[in-house]
Amino acid sequence: MIRLAASDSDHDLHALAALRRASTEETGPVADDPGFEAQFADWLARNRRVLWLAEAPAPIGMLNLAVFERMPRPGRDVGCWGYIGNAYVLPAHRNRGVGRALLDAAIAHARTHRFARLVLAPTERSRPFYARAGFVPAESLLVLEL
């Protein structure tokens, strides 16, 4: 089941932080960080994010969408766009449609709220996944790597 995570829910906060820890551990050893969950909660409170959880019934995946609202212009609706980040599914649940269901939820949300675009920075491993969902290389954006 895919559902919106509630940023004011301790249960969801613990689940999201645990999934973030699990995703980090896949790339190598992680130092013991007893303050991580508090840091995660503070980050979540400061950032405008829409987050989804995949559950079966325990949390098995997540995806977050950073929402950027454009500056208003006279005579035009305020538009927005989204940045998809931190899509993650526990290894035991991969290749079963969970990641696609999370991504589809984010895309549906963006369409419903009339986003101008969704962008992301895929890993080499995730490029085919996003391409199957219709994402293409950006040609209209510029980037300054710092």
Per-residue model confidence (pLDDT) at position 88: 97
- Assign 75 a pLDDT band (cuts: 50, 70, 90): confident
User: Helices (DSSP H) in 71-112: which residue ranges?
Assistant: 98-112
pLDDT band at 79 (very low <50, low <70, confident <90, very high): confident
Please check the confidence at residue 78 and state whether its pLDDT lies above 80. Answer: no
Average pLDDT score over residue span 93-120: 96
Q: Amino acid identity of 133?
A: A
Q: What is the value of pTM for the model shown?
A: 0.91
Q: What is the pLDDT of residue 53?
A: 98
- The ranges assigned to domains in the chain are 2-132
| Angle of helix 10-25 versus helix 36-46 axis, rounded to 10 | 110
Q: How many CA atoms lie within 13 A of 25 on its CB side?
A: 12
CATH of 2-132, one of 3.40.190.10, 3.40.630.30, 3.40.50.11240, 3.40.50.450: 3.40.630.30
Which of residues 84 and 139 earns the better pLDDT score?
84
pLDDT digits (tens, 9 = 90+) for 14-50: 999 999 999 999 988 888 888 999 999 999 989 889 9
Q: What is the band of 144 on the pLDDT scale with cuts at 50, 70, 90?
A: confident
